[in-house]
Structure 1
């Protein structure tokens, strides 16, 4: 059994300015994606320049922040949004959704592709391996804040989170599971997969399917938001419902990609 360190959510205080760990994790995510993207752009066969990475980063930052917040309010707190539409802007109160952020990134990529006269999947396949490190950083931020913990567990690495709702019960450190599976493992898989030219849509399909499998599995040991709970059968969560279409889309994209490759 382990004890959560109980980190101070504020990493740095500069007078009246407080910089939170979660915010730093977002900066780390964007910085890592930018660095990896520029590395990929140096390989001429990819058809991207380093300056393209610089430009698309702005689109993606806007997509993540706006989409993540809007998605959280729509998926997880729609009643609060109806009662107070301005709550959509209250980012400092917490609440970001991966699925909303993903939708925002998809819109950002479509916008970038249209402005640069590129195909959507051409952009999406290039960006796909850059996303998992950002997911990993976000999940580490969840762990530092002691949020999104898992179900009770008697495993040797079960952890007691210093949270009044979690209580003194050892629980799955589900944030670490997600950081490892959705972040590290998925990144290694995608980085390896894209080291040589692949059919259009293949990298995007692998990202969607890989993330979906990891997220759906971890949701079985992650406690859902208290105000939502389980949606059906005592185990189906909102996260699984939102992720299931990603799995379907990923399988379809992979099938179409390699079917088209065989037909050439």
Structure 2
């Protein structure tokens, strides 16, 4: 998508509406099948499919029935954690009203979703006596590509656009939902590429081409560093929410950046821990 945008090479910004996009696949009556919902659905299904392939490789810490449980509980964790995290971190006024449950109107927190998934993994690991850290390794490999689909859906919706840029910037774009109609960074695509595609390819390569899967915590540590660093850097291009602009003014960093710093620190600690511990022994599989 970025290549297509850059190919314009024009001094004028690109107008989102000229790309022929719309936020839904089809509409029947008052119902719209929105790409944002499809992104969640396909992201979760893709993660489940790939996780099922991963556990067939040597060294798996779980069996298929555990993957099935994770699919169910992590889906709940993503949805509930993402929504509750959005309310807690960004819009506390949603608590106590029916607006909290209006998921179709948007508003999900990545950091809240991570917390929800960690709780889900903890429950499945405790109930089945599995190695929690190694389960996190396997789940983390599947997150970036699902995340990429979500950011692409944000772009298709014309939302979460970036900060203003000069109109002759190669990727400058005007979004119809922008009240100021300024040329802006299409930061949704930056995030899809960096935190989604690039990080996903790195984790896939580490899992399938190296023995990283045998070092408990290494994969999830790399994921945590990558996501935290990616979000921190991308926030320099992303427009802060209007009701959180004061955070940037007062601290110099956005709310998303402050939430990302602990992720980077935790990821570094986990990677160091994983490299100091001996690899797990042998290619033993979890019993079905």
TM value normalised by structure 2:
0.85
Instruction: State which of 143, 150, 155 in structure 1 corresponds to 2:162.
Output: 150
- Which of structures 1 and 2 has the larger relative contact order (alpha carbons within 8 angstroms, sep 6+)? 2
- Structure 2 vs 1, CA of residues 205 and 230 (structure 1 numbering), >3 Å: closer, same or farther? farther
Q: Are 1:246 and 2:263 an aligned pair?
A: yes
Q: Are 1:178 and 2:194 an aligned pair?
A: no
Count of aligned pairs: 260
In 1, Cα distance between the equivalents of 2:133 and 2:37? Answer: 30
Q: Are 1:55 and 2:72 an aligned pair?
A: no
**Structure 1: 5+ residue runs without aligned partners?**
none
Does the Cα contact within 8 Å between 1:6 and 1:162 map onto a contact in 2? no
Q: Are 1:209 and 2:225 an aligned pair?
A: yes
Q: Are 1:258 and 2:271 an aligned pair?
A: no
Shift of 1:232: 4.2
Q: Cα deviations across residues 214-260 of structure 1 (Å, max 9, x unaligned)?
A: 11000011111111114145641010011111001000001111122
- The alignment yields a C-alpha RMSD, in angstroms, of 1.9
Report the secondary structure of 1:12's partner residue. strand
**Structure 2: 5+ residue runs without aligned partners?**
1-12, 282-288
Q: Cα deviations across residues 12-56 of structure 1 (Å, max 9, x unaligned)?
A: 223443211110111111111011111112213223333432221
Does the Cα contact within 8 Å between 1:69 and 1:97 map onto a contact in 2? yes
In 2, Cα distance between the equivalents of 1:123 and 1:173? Answer: 34
Does the Cα contact within 8 Å between 2:48 and 2:67 map onto a contact in 1? yes
Which residue does the alignment assign to 1:102? 114
Does the Cα contact within 8 Å between 1:68 and 1:101 map onto a contact in 2? yes
Which residue does the alignment assign to 1:72? 86
In 2, Cα distance between the equivalents of 1:90 and 1:25? Answer: 17
Which residue does the alignment assign to 1:159? 173
